[in-house]
Amino acid sequence: MTQITVGALQLAFSNDIDANIARVAEGVREAAGRGAQVVLPPELFEGEYFCRIEDEGLFAKAKPVGEHKAVLAMQALAEALKIWIPTSFFEADGPHHYNSLAMIGPDGEVAGVYRKSHIPDGPGYEEKFYFRPGNTGFKVWDGPAKASGGRTTLGVGVCWDQWYPETARAMMLMGAEVLFYPTAIGSEPHDTSLDTARLWRRAMVGHAVSNVVPIVAANRVGTEHGQTFYGTSFIADERGDILAELDREEEGVITATIDLDRVKRHRAAFGFFRDRRPDLYGRLVQDI
């Protein structure tokens, strides 16, 4: 049997980056203490979700991957705990800015950077003002070792990516065995009656079912300048059943252990990848 234990954090954040890093580090240590080998913090945990407004002064928060305080802190922590920490951060690359994720391994090194592919633009989520569409393509990484040999393959999408079935399927075709989604999502300022919490979860549970893959989703909570983030972070198995979850308000840590051998058997038995018809899918890569 090959198992992997994964964890997710759900926290509220302020604009004090040092305090935020300290709280994330505390949660990561708790998850690692429960046996988690991969621990997922929420998206852009370095501060409040600044994309609710357009303010050119906020570009100063972006840093290169090798200089970003959140990345450097998680590198030291990952090395100390010998775990993987997918770390979301606001990246500056010359004149360009990205919503990025550094995959940090147990050696404390950044194995690679993924830049968020799908960039939303709407009231309260005006990310196109700040971020270029990612130019890395979807990525997967080697994760914890398997008892049978080799390593677990980890796939990570960031927030708006999680709504696109193409993101999940692309990572699966690259060999992903567990999918991780750090996010920052909550109320819709233009329509206070719209609650997307159920839709948010259903979208990712759909990825779990149609790809026969476990999903780990980490959201933030709390109210920031009238915008309330609805948490409901969760870990689902390959059938979409919830293994661990948090509610709309609580801060905390969740962990779950996944039997990758069982997942592999279930995926083969469903036949979704056996019965694919790529010869019919050309329309999917054409403009509308």
3-class DSSP assignment, residue 284: helix
Chain CA centroid to CA 268, Å: 26
185 exposed, middle or buried (CB, 10 Å; 0-12, 13-18, 19+)? buried
d(CA 189, CA 125): 9
3-class DSSP assignment, residue 74: helix
Of 4, 2, 3, give the one whose Cα is nearest residue 180.
4
Which residues does the annotation mark as catalytic?
Answer: 43, 116, 159
User: Could you say which DSSP state residue 249 is in?
Assistant: S
Q: How does DSSP assign 167-226, residue by residue?
A: HHHHHHHTT-SEEEEE---B--TT-TT---HHHHHHHHHHHHHHHT--EEEE--EEEETT
Q: Which structure tokens are listed for 89?
A: 């951060």
d(CA 26, CA 145): 25
Q: How many CA atoms lie within 13 A of 248 on its CB side?
A: 11
